[in-house]
Structure 1
Amino acid sequence: MRRSAVLTAGALAGAVALTGCSGSGAESGTDKAELAVSSSYMPQPVSADMAAGFLTITNEGAAEDTLTSVTSDVAGQVTMHSTVGGAMAEKSSFSIPAHGRLVFRSGGNHLMFEELKRAPKQGQTVAVKLTFATSGPLTVEMPVKSATYNPTTGH
């Protein structure tokens, strides 16, 4: 009788362990955004009070998130803009789709650093804090490149 009790307990433990491995698709952590930032840079400002910033936010997660604000200690305020058909418009937020990305690039979506407190110079970095609706904030060290930097050529 003792041997069958041990086997039953072992079988029960195995069944419980296998239940935890079921492929239900609702695994912990996959139902949220998983954000990462790449390709960030600021062209050295040509104006004493304003600069632009560019970056890519990638979402590897299964849930959408929204970029709600951007701040930096180098600027009095940082605003987000979209450019469509040559017309620039300030935006209060940008959606980042699940398994998608949000691109800020020259001629498209971009960041504007306004009321500069100091003039960032090529070779320096600027700390930028990105705040999202759901995910925690991300701080990015944005390198300052030449005013004519082109990310497609690296110059």
Structure 2
Amino acid sequence: MSGNERSPLFLPVIYVGGLIFGFGLAVSGMARPEVVLDFLQFEDFGLLFVMGGAAVVTGITFTVATRYLDRAPLTKREYTRRLKDFDRNVVIGGAIFGVGWGLSGICPGAAYASVGIGNYPILFAIAGMFLGAYAQGYWRALRADDTGDATDAASS
């Protein structure tokens, strides 16, 4: 198998991972907006244990995988470290995300799991997430066009 081909198990494993993720969120209560809002109001710190547990399991998995495997088993891609600068966009995006999280009471992954436990009004928040992401992509494309036009004009 070449370096760019995915394993035939890629999609089934992603699906099973999503099932486990959603089930875990529902069992932990994190798919309920009122639980998340209690966390954001410093009344219930259960979310810290859920996130902490997930971080520990993920950290161990990546440490073991990168030590004993030269490539990711499902994508066959070489393990590399992705570095992201801590810049203005990270701060602004994090603040906007936090406001949305606080207003809706739920973050993206938990929103999908929340639909699974019958919280259908959360579909409005999910639609808002898609619309917000689309608006940001559109805005970024407009800025890139403006920057490209300015660069073209300056070079001629």
Is this a same-fold pair by TM over 0.5? no
TM-score, normalisation: structure 1? 0.16
* Structure label with greater radius of gyration: 1
* Higher relative contact order structure (alpha carbons within 8 Å, sequence separation ≥ 6): 2
TM-score, normalisation: structure 2? 0.16
Greater strand percent: which structure? 1
